[in-house]
Amino acid sequence: MAFGNWPLGIEVGRGIITKDSVKIINKFNREYIPRSISYLKDPLGLPFNFSDLQDLIVGNSVLIEKEGSSYTRQGNELVISSQGASFKNLLTVFLPNYLPSVSQLEDVDTDRKITATLKYDNYKMADNHYFSTLRNILVNYKSKIDIRLNFKSYGFDSEISTPFSVPESYSMK
């Protein structure tokens, strides 16, 4: 999985995520930051593994427990409530295609007080898949983290070239 950061049309960062690592090139500070996958878990406090992260990027619901879930239909939406070992999840999906709209996560450990809201919007059809091109991820844990994703290009079931090389002049952080 690869990503880039392009504010104002200028690339300031690039990264690649594998099953066990995160590698980031910070072009603004001329730094290379290699880390384990737990680097993404620590600031968020969410028990995401690589598969969960893929689901989040693709637009699938995350941290839903199938056992013991309850379902309520509200007009053109379905509200699914579930509780796992770590989180309660209240997921709202658009019908008839069962597309995630909002997922509200709350830590079952009241001492940690982790909450997260994942919003999916602006669905477009791509390669016979509906894809949410706008996402907002708000996490409250040790601090408030607000991530906004606006996908300009995306595709499914095809190989993508992701050039990733670290310039020799960059320092390792």
Using an 8 Å Cβ cutoff, are 23 and 32 in contact? yes
pLDDT digits (tens, 9 = 90+) for 32-84: 988 888 777 766 666 677 787 777 777 777 777 778 789 999 999 999 999 88
Q: What is the CA radius of gyration of the chain?
A: 18
pTM: 0.74
d(CA 115, CA 14): 28
Across the chain, mean pLDDT equals 82
Q: Of 68 and 29, which is predicted with more confidence?
A: 29
Using an 8 Å Cβ cutoff, are 26 and 37 in contact? no
Nearest to 123 by CA among 89, 146, 151, 160: 151
d(CA 151, CA 34): 24
Q: How does residue 3 score in pLDDT terms, banded at 50, 70 and 90?
A: low
C-beta atoms surrounding 37 within 10 Å: 16
Q: Which two tokens stand for residue 54?
A: 């893929």
